[in-house]
Amino acid sequence: MIYNEEYETLPREVLEVLQLKRLKQAVQRVYHTVGFYRHSFDQAGVQPDDIKTLDDLKRFPFTTKQDLRDNYPFGMFAVPMSSVVSLHASSGTTGRSTVVGYTKRDIDTWSELMARSFVAAGLTKNDIIHNAYGYGLFTGGLGAHYGAVRLGASVIPMSGGNTKRQIMILQDFGPTAICCTPSYALNLAEQGKAMGVDMRSLKLRVGVFGAEPWSEKMRQEIENAFGITALNIFGLSEIMGPGVAMECIEGRHGMHVFEDHFLVETINPDTGEILPPGEVGELVFTTITKEAFPLIRYRTRDISRLIPEPCRCGRTFLRMDRVTGRSDDMLIIRGVNVFPSQIEAVLLAIPGVEPHYQLIVDRTGNLDTIEIQVEVGEQIFANADEVKVLQNMERQIVKDIKDYLGVSAKVKLVEPMTLQRFEGKASRVLDKRRI
Ligand code: AMP
Ligand code: ZN
């Protein structure tokens, strides 16, 4: 089944005509409305009129997360605030996270693309969707919600957490589909088992999982635990939120990028050189219909590859493979994006903490854990109340990390000169997760 047959099955040559028309408009619009683009295009010696074919996009400069941070919070918006109807932010709760805005039409597009995603998963208006993506600044919850409403399905706005209650609702309301992060799905299955619930006898048929990396092995585990078909959905707040690309139930391999709204390229992350379709590299997206927060050649840092072969479902949009990693040091801890530099900033704001730390990321059961080992200054140990001071400091770090970044960390204070020192680039993260 296809939600928007007309667009999702456009012959490639017709799609390309549409893409070129939309790209030209997008590039003109950003050049004339966003100071950042005017400056960056001028510096690169390109003008909106230089777009004569889709191929000309490669002459335009990349946009990076740093550019978004430099223009925090609203500097990249291409419309006045009076046209913005909603705001989201990509990670953390304060500081220079990425703030994105939507016009009414942007929300409309997002709703359609999420509705398309649900239909690609085999859902119809007769389905009941248990939405356990977090509602709030994170795009997952509301994005999936808009899509379910657009489709006409019945959405249960569960949000994340409260796992026992979720199990009850799954039993009582009988949803036929579930969306959440894949690790949370496994967590739900485990909790259900502990409560003596047979998760395979629930009415669930399909799961739409994303927002963090997962593997075929996890797919099998989830499918077995719930007796469902588990599908992959990809998105990022900067580009829109969930629903940038979605796996179809017919192909079950690779996610169709909604190419009538987004152009996708893969590049060599070290050189920026464009790679031929099929080669593994960093994904770069250009939005061609977005109004409030358009992005030209945005470097996602996500590593994947495009699948050029046509899919048996009839959609003509290219597919992208699973995201296998990142070309930067961003971590996703229980769905929250965290950069080591953000943790460092929180640590260094606390008196007595030294700039030597190590982050140990692991997965216990199905929950991500992060331990921060950090050195404290000599003077602490000279203090008569040493133990109390250390305890307070530890508590303070846990609280600040939670308050500023939204993740629960375990903190271990260590004596001066005990953590490893680096001669070149510091490697402060030990990621032990096997997914
Ligand atoms: P956010 O903007 O908070 O939604 O985070 C977006 C990031 O989550 C992406 O850039 C990816 O790194 C990651 N992500 C989203 N969906 C997936 C997926 N299906 N598989 C792997 N990583 C994903
Ligand atoms: Zn397909």
Average pLDDT, the chain: 94
Residues 147 and 98 in one domain: yes
Q: Tell me, in angstroms, the distance from the centre of ligand 2 to residue 251's CA.
A: 5
Burial of 346 (0-12, 13-18, 19+ CB in 10 A): buried
Ligand 1 atom nearest to 301, measured from its CA: 10
Say yes or no: CB of residue 323 within 6 Å of ligand 1. yes
- Pocket probe mutation, ligand 1, options 218, 321, 332, 342, max atoms within 8 Å of Cβ: 332
CATH number at residue 379: 3.30.300.30
37 in any annotated domain: no
Residues 177 and 262 in one domain: yes
Q: Tell me, in angstroms, the distance from the centre of ligand 1 to residue 233's CA.
A: 9
What are the two backbone dihedrals, phi and then psi, of residue 430, each rounded to the nearest 5 degrees?
-115, 105
- The CA–CA distances, whole Å, from 235 to 13, 150, 246 equal 26, 18, 9
Q: Considering 300, 328, 356, which residue would you say is the last residue of a domain?
A: 328
CATH number at residue 272: 3.40.50.12780
Say yes or no: CB of residue 19 within 6 Å of ligand 1. no
Helix segments in 131-197, DSSP class H: 139-151, 163-173, 182-194
Exposure string for 263-282, b = 16+ CB within 10 A, e = fewer: bbbbbebeeeebbeeeeebb
Each residue's pLDDT tens digit, 273-327:
999 999 999 999 999 999 999 999 999 999 999 999 999 999 999 999 999 889 9
Residues 309 and 342 in one domain: no
CA angle at residue 61 from 270 to 299, to 5 degrees?
Answer: 50
DSSP code of residue 291 = S
- The CA–CA distances, whole Å, from 412 to 66, 254, 361 equal 31, 41, 13
* pLDDT score for 386: 86
* pLDDT score for 201: 97
**Over pLDDT 70: what percentage of the chain?**
98
Alpha carbons 286 and 298: distance in angstroms, whole number: 6
Alpha carbons 118 and 121: distance in angstroms, whole number: 5
* pLDDT score for 366: 86
Residues 276 and 373 in one domain: no
229 in any annotated domain: yes
391-399: which pairs have CB atoms within 8 A and are 24 or more residues apart? Answer: 393/350, 393/352, 393/353, 396/350, 397/346, 397/347, 397/350, 397/353, 397/372
pLDDT at 91 over 90: no
Ligand nearest to the CA of 245: 1
Averaging pLDDT over each range in 322-331, 348-357, 394-403, 424-433, which range is the top one?
394-403
Higher-confidence residue: 282 or 215?
A: 282
Say yes or no: CB of residue 91 within 6 Å of ligand 1. yes
Residues 303 and 379 in one domain: no
24 in any annotated domain: no
Give the pair of three-digit tokens for residue 50: 């230089």
Tally of domains within the chain: 2
Residues 135 and 153 in one domain: yes
30 in any annotated domain: no
Please compute the mean of the pLDDT values over residues 214-233 and round it to a whole number: 95
Residues 227 and 343 in one domain: no
pLDDT at 423 over 90: no
Residues 286 and 174 in one domain: yes
DSSP code of residue 13 = H
- The CA–CA distances, whole Å, from 165 to 64, 168, 207, 376 equal 40, 5, 19, 41
Say yes or no: CB of residue 232 within 6 Å of ligand 1. yes
Ligand nearest to the CA of 212: 1
DSSP code of residue 258 = -
Q: Tell me, in angstroms, the distance from the centre of ligand 1 to residue 381's CA.
A: 43
- Pocket probe mutation, ligand 1, options 234, 255, 284, 326, max atoms within 8 Å of Cβ: 234
Contact (CB, 8 A) for 40 and 298:
no
Full domain range(s) for residue 372: 336-431
CA angle at residue 402 from 166 to 135, to 5 degrees?
Answer: 40
141 in any annotated domain: yes
13 in any annotated domain: no
Residues 349 and 298 in one domain: no
Q: Cβ of 87: how many Cβ atoms within 10 Å? A: 16
Q: Tell me, in angstroms, the distance from the centre of ligand 2 to residue 256's CA.
A: 7
Q: Tell me, in angstroms, the distance from the centre of ligand 1 to residue 264's CA.
A: 15
43 in any annotated domain: no
Q: How confident is the model at residue 435 (pLDDT cuts 50, 70, 90)?
A: confident
Residues 305 and 413 in one domain: no
Ligand nearest to the CA of 300: 1
Say yes or no: CB of residue 245 within 6 Å of ligand 1. no
Q: Considering 307, 328, 349, which residue would you say is the last residue of a domain?
A: 328
Alpha carbons 210 and 231: distance in angstroms, whole number: 8
Q: Name 207's bridge partners.
A: 178, 230
Alpha carbons 51 and 57: distance in angstroms, whole number: 7
Say yes or no: CB of residue 192 within 6 Å of ligand 1. no
Q: Tell me, in angstroms, the distance from the centre of ligand 1 to residue 29's CA.
A: 27
Pick the closest to residue 296 from 85, 88, 50, 7 (CA basis): 50
Tokens 């070149």 belong to residue: 424
Q: Considering 328, 347, 372, which residue would you say is the last residue of a domain?
A: 328
Q: How confident is the model at residue 425 (pLDDT cuts 50, 70, 90)?
A: low
How far is residue 105 CA from its own chain's centroid? 22
Give the pair of three-digit tokens for residue 418: 């005990």
Q: How confident is the model at residue 211 (pLDDT cuts 50, 70, 90)?
A: very high
- CB contact set of 344 (below 8 Å; sequence gap of 6+): 355, 357
Q: Which H helix or E strand runs over 106?
A: helix 104-120
Ligand 1 atom nearest to 232, measured from its CA: 19
Alpha carbons 86 and 84: distance in angstroms, whole number: 6
pLDDT at 382 over 60: yes
Of 73-77, 136-140, 156-160, 380-384, the least confident: 380-384
Residues 101 and 120 in one domain: yes
Q: Tell me, in angstroms, the distance from the centre of ligand 1 to residue 323's CA.
A: 8
Ligand nearest to the CA of 231: 1
Q: Name 369's bridge partners.
A: 362
Pick the closest to residue 347 from 373, 370, 381, 379 (CA basis): 373
Say yes or no: CB of residue 209 within 6 Å of ligand 1. no
Pick the closest to residue 205 from 167, 175, 162 (CA basis): 175
Alpha carbons 28 and 342: distance in angstroms, whole number: 35
State the number of CA atoms in the 13 A half-sphere of 68 facing the CB.
25
pLDDT at 95 over 70: no
91 in any annotated domain: yes
* pLDDT score for 371: 97
Burial of 198 (0-12, 13-18, 19+ CB in 10 A): exposed
Q: How confident is the model at residue 272 (pLDDT cuts 50, 70, 90)?
A: very high
* pLDDT score for 421: 82
Contact (CB, 8 A) for 263 and 25:
no
> What's the predicted TM-score (pTM) here?
0.91
Ligand nearest to the CA of 141: 1
Each residue's pLDDT tens digit, 14-53:
999 999 999 999 999 999 999 999 999 999 999 999 999 9
Residues 368 and 290 in one domain: no
Q: Tell me, in angstroms, the distance from the centre of ligand 2 to residue 316's CA.
A: 8
